[in-house]
A and B are shown apart, each in its own frame.
Chain A
């Protein structure tokens, strides 16, 4: 038992050194992917074929193929082109870290684009028409009415996507990135004790994702002020919105 606990402590301290890298990968790819997702969603909703179809194709490809395959294609595949190796992109693509970040960002963009599109479509047209009839411009309507309502609708779906991304960073270990899972694999190769090490690794992801889930719950509350004041009558809310 003493040996078990000491080894658990050793595992935990070793794996915790990978947490900054895991968080960095997740954060950077979620932010980059999020920006790209908005662009893709607007392309999908633009009603212009030359914008809509490229976005559709992108989403189809990146949702339809495994992330692991995308990581391998970007890391090992792109390196095969001599022209690329001579280009200004190579200092980035040479590094496993940037390849992993790129693959994660491109992948999450495809999934998030559909979440964003769903959120934007869920805003009732009556609310938009009301805003327009009050004299708001397209942009003002979007900023004041569509976006806040859409964000609220997106949150539950988007929190799923971020939690999936945190877990997907584990795949970066397959291309030599030493994040939590990479360090776990290394520790197992030295100790041959997979159970203890993987339990620790799992616990670390659990804690990170617990924080993410809690964060989103708080955000959802913030975006739904009426839920915090149950004593307010529904008709009063309607009045305050007008």
Chain B
């Protein structure tokens, strides 16, 4: 490149920069392997409930968005390290996570359930088809869990590592079951069908989606759907010192929940409304 051209190119870049700076780009991380919340489509593009919601929220906040896929087990450290500004990846608000990051207002409720392979003796566990909140209906939930405990004794249960499902299994059935932790929900579903696992515990919406796939034909959801408590609610993960962004997200999420956008998106992707209720 000739010197004159280099100078011209440098000037072009220099004049272009201020224009770009006006339009702030918000970097949002998702996992990309948690259908239908967020997943990578056959065309390699990110899709799902949270991708649509992120688009809506960014419109409300009047920012340009860039969504990146990030492996689940590094998703919080990378946020605090500043690789992106927000996490929308089906992440439940937990006290442990709140020690490290901040959360916006919730945009969904977390519901978890067990699933088993076809012909499993664990199909139709006590409470199948019921939904209990660990917070407001703790007595009923506890009764069902106590009935289930002896049936799960010595069984191998798969969960995705660093999730509320893994924390719940460890706290509730830790000494009676053998717990295996996987990187993704897809991997534990594989091993469920391979008969390496007796059951998996995962987000009900993710399981419902997975069970529609031909390679999981015959697998069943079993035992009660559990919400509240450790499963809590799902919000946008943010850096603690980023209070300006938190305020923006709080407003945008609050508005999206109120005007029914979240319910509509939830119905579209999950066939059920899991928008948070006060």
B209 within 8 A of A: no
A177 to chain B, nearest CB (A): 10
B77 within 8 A of A: yes
Q: Decide: B161 and A186 in contact? CB cutoff 8 A.
A: yes
Interface of A is mostly: helix
B251 to chain A, nearest CB (A): 27
Q: With a CB–CB cut-off of 8 A, which chain A residues contact B161?
A: 185-186, 189
Q: With a CB–CB cut-off of 8 A, which chain A residues contact B181?
A: 176, 178, 182, 186
List which B168-206 residues lie within 8 A (CB) of chain A.
180-183, 187, 190-191, 194-196
Q: Decide: A94 and B76 in contact? CB cutoff 8 A.
A: no
Closest to B80 in A: A192
Q: Decide: B100 and A192 in contact? CB cutoff 8 A.
A: yes
Say whether, besides A79-B196, A85-B195, A176-B181, A188 and B190 are in contact (CB < 8 Å): no
Q: With a CB–CB cut-off of 8 A, which chain A residues contact B195?
A: 85, 94
A122 within 8 A of B: no
B258 within 8 A of A: no
Q: Decide: B191 and A79 in contact? CB cutoff 8 A.
A: yes
B212 within 8 A of A: no
Could you list which residues of chain B lie within 8 angstroms of chain A, going by C-beta atoms?
A: 73-74, 76-77, 80, 96-97, 99-101, 161-162, 166, 180-183, 187, 190-191, 194-196
Could you list which residues of chain A lie within 8 angstroms of chain B, going by C-beta atoms?
A: 76, 79-80, 85, 94, 96, 174, 176, 178, 182, 185-186, 188-190, 192, 194
Shortest Cβ-Cβ A-B pairs, 6 listed: A189-B162, A79-B194, A192-B100, A194-B77, A176-B180, A192-B76
A to B CB contacts below 8 Å, 11 in the list: A76-B191, A79-B191, A96-B196, A176-B181, A176-B182, A178-B181, A185-B73, A189-B73, A189-B162, A192-B97, A192-B100
